[in-house]
Amino acid sequence: MGGGRPLTLKLTLSLSLITCFLLSSSYGQNCAKHSFPNNRVFKTCSDLPVLNSFLHFNYDTSSSKLEIAYRHSGIGSSRWVAWAINPTSTGMVGSQALVAYQQTNGTMRVYTSPITQYQTQLQEGELSFNVSDLSASYENDEIIIFATLGLSNNGTMLNQVWQEGGLNGNIPQMHVTSGANVQSMGTLNLVSGEAGTSNGGGSKLKKRNIHGVLNTVSWGILMPMGAIIARYLKVFKSADPAWFYLHVLCQFSAYVVGVAGWGTGLKLGSESVGIQFDAHRTIGIILFSLGTLQVFALLVRPKPEHKYRLYWNIYHHLVGYTVIILSVINIFKGFDILEPEKKWKHAYIGVIVALASSAVLLEAYTWFVAIRRKRSESEGKLPYGGVNGGEGNGVYGHGVRTQQA
């Protein structure tokens, strides 16, 4: 092939690029450039992955004393910030938090708050470890919390959680429960300063992504495609009865994948006690019910000649279109909750637009065919009515079938 050399070269290049990237992301920390007033120096620092946050600290292994400065940049004056250690688990509940915000009269309030449940107003309270030298500052849209924590000697890995939210007067309000605000947790290595994703946060994010992908593909792409196949493939003579099996195959696989996605959603819901996405959840449950109805409706569908078949068709189409509309709505609600990178939402919008425009084009083409056949029918006095007993319905169905007979 002679392509060996360039390929090796490319591989080496990309490997070194990746290495450079990894090195720069773990060692070229932005936080290292920060200097604190009064020549305060922190030996170790870590750029936290979300919410414009940085943790600077000195850790004394012999006394287990942890001296920290938590910086939260780009924060408005009527917002609170918090940084916490969770000695018992990985999430928010059980966190031992340091909270700071600017009060309406301009002075800073900084205090400790143990978090026992999701519905918290961040009330002041004692933490499970000693906290001293607690102070906070607000300058240039940045809040810094300073503190010294007396940790019991529990090893060098900690679970950390950080957060920000709005204030009502001087009262902290619930933080946003989506996007970066639910990813702001992870591990902290007290020796290396490395901030990792804790299993809790990481696997939850993974589960959410799986849930999103399964549901977008099934309810959001396969189902509308199946509907398009049913409605428009019928027009092509050669596609009968293939369109029917394609439609059933498409919708049935969409349903199976969709139920899997729905299951992951229920699991996620049961795991995030206290955080509820009511509309998303309700629409999800309605979708599952309607989808199941559609599958069973197939089994009780009357024969094409049956006098009730018309009503069955109307019912089947009504439920089908409702499912598609609700699915698209719920997928966008999901995007708002998960807040993935913009490109995913854009890609999905692209798919929806492509599906919708092909539906419009096919609709126009179908009418064109139907009208032309009607005309040739009335001229040629062809017998009216379908013979092959497909799933025909609607204005053009019969006309198309007639030609086929």
Binding residues: 211, 247, 280, 316
SS3 193: coil
Q: How far is the CB of 78 from ligand NAG (least distance, A)?
A: 14
Phi-psi region of 155 (alpha: psi -120 to 50; beta: other; left: phi over 0): left
Pull the structure tokens for residue 75: 């924060």
Please identify, among the stretches 55-63, 145-153, 322-330, 375-383, the one whose residues bind ligand NAG according to the rule CB under 6 A: 145-153
Q: How far is the CB of 95 from ligand NAG (least distance, A)?
A: 11
Applying CB under 6 A, among 38, 62, 107, 238 the residue interacting with ligand NAG is 107
Q: How far is the CB of 132 from ligand NAG (least distance, A)?
A: 8
Alpha-carbon span 142 to 286, nearest angstrom:
44
Question: Does residue 35 belong to the site contacting ligand NAG (CB under 6 A)?
Answer: no
Binding-site members for heme b are: 211, 247, 280, 316
Site string for ligand NAG, 43-82 (x = CB under 6 A): ----------------------------------------
Sign of CA dihedral 126, 132, 138, 144: negative
How would you label 269-283 residue by residue, b for 16+ Cβ within 10 Å and e otherwise? beebeebebeebbeb
Alpha-carbon span 375 to 369, nearest angstrom:
10
Number of residues that bind ligand NAG (CB under 6 A): 12
Residues in a beta bridge with 121: none
In the bound state with ligand NAG, the residue whose beta carbon lies nearer, of 129 and 312, is 129
Q: How far is the CB of 103 from ligand NAG (least distance, A)?
A: 5
Please identify, among the stretches 148-156, 215-223, 265-273, 373-381, the one whose residues bind ligand NAG according to the rule CB under 6 A: 148-156
Applying CB under 6 A, among 151, 221, 257, 287 the residue interacting with ligand NAG is 151
Question: Does residue 168 belong to the site contacting ligand NAG (CB under 6 A)?
Answer: no
Q: Where are the alpha helices (DSSP H) in 133-173?
A: none
Question: Does residue 238 belong to the site contacting ligand NAG (CB under 6 A)?
Answer: no
SS3 60: strand
Applying CB under 6 A, among 129, 236, 244, 344 the residue interacting with ligand NAG is 129
Residue type, position 220, single letter = G
How many other β-carbons are positioned within 10 Å of the β-carbon of residue 321?
12
Question: Does residue 125 belong to the site contacting ligand NAG (CB under 6 A)?
Answer: no
Give the CB-nearest residue to ligand NAG. Answer: 87
Residues in a beta bridge with 157: 189
SS3 167: strand
Q: How far is the CB of 200 from ligand NAG (least distance, A)?
A: 16
Alpha-carbon span 377 to 268, nearest angstrom:
57
Residue type, position 317, single letter = H
Question: Does residue 89 belong to the site contacting ligand NAG (CB under 6 A)?
Answer: no
C-alpha pair distances (Å), 38 with each of 41, 85, 125: 9, 26, 30
Applying CB under 6 A, among 105, 119, 140, 270 the residue interacting with ligand NAG is 105
Q: How far is the CB of 8 from ligand NAG (least distance, A)?
A: 49
331: closest CA among 203, 224, 180, 201? Answer: 224
In the bound state with ligand NAG, the residue whose beta carbon lies nearer, of 96 and 183, is 96
Task: Name the maximum alpha-carbon separation found in the chain.
Answer: 100
Applying CB under 6 A, among 61, 63, 117, 128 the residue interacting with ligand NAG is 128
Please identify, among the stretches 71-79, 134-142, 151-159, 212-220, the one whose residues bind ligand NAG according to the rule CB under 6 A: 151-159
In the bound state with ligand NAG, the residue whose beta carbon lies nearer, of 101 and 277, is 101
What phi and psi values does residue 197 have, to the nearest 5 degrees? -90, 130
Applying CB under 6 A, among 12, 14, 130, 289 the residue interacting with ligand NAG is 130
Q: Where are the alpha helices (DSSP H) in 156-277?
A: 199-215, 223-233, 242-271
Asked if residues 180 and 339 have their Cβ atoms less than 8 Å apart, the reply is yes
Binding site for ligand NAG (CB under 6 A): 87, 103, 105, 107, 128-130, 150-152, 154, 170
